[in-house]
Amino acid sequence: MIEDHQKSSFELSLIVKPHIGMTPLPSKLDKCHQARIDKLKKLDGAEFTKITRSKSRRTSLRYRSSSASENPAAMLN
């Protein structure tokens, strides 16, 4: 999975670079995001799944609630 992400990041940089001029893309994560990754790396499978599922659910709920302000029927999905 890491290789896939690195490959897609590289391919994306090839597409984006001509459009943003000479603005460099970050070569590494900032301290906050690196700390999150380090924390996730220490978790075992069950703990990792529990955390990522709950985060995914919160993100989904946040998206659905923001959509509801534009379309109340979105909360029913």
pLDDT per residue over 9-32, tens digit each? 899 888 887 777 667 778 888 999
Mean pLDDT on 36-64: 76
Q: Please answer whether residues 25 and 17 qualify as being in contact, where contact means their C-beta atoms are separated by less than 8 angstroms.
A: yes
Average pLDDT over residues 40-58: 79
Any idea how long the chain is? 77
Long-range contacts, 20-28 (Cβ 8 Å, 24+): none
Domain ranges for the chain, please list them.
45-77
Q: Is pLDDT larger for residue 67 or for residue 52? A: 52
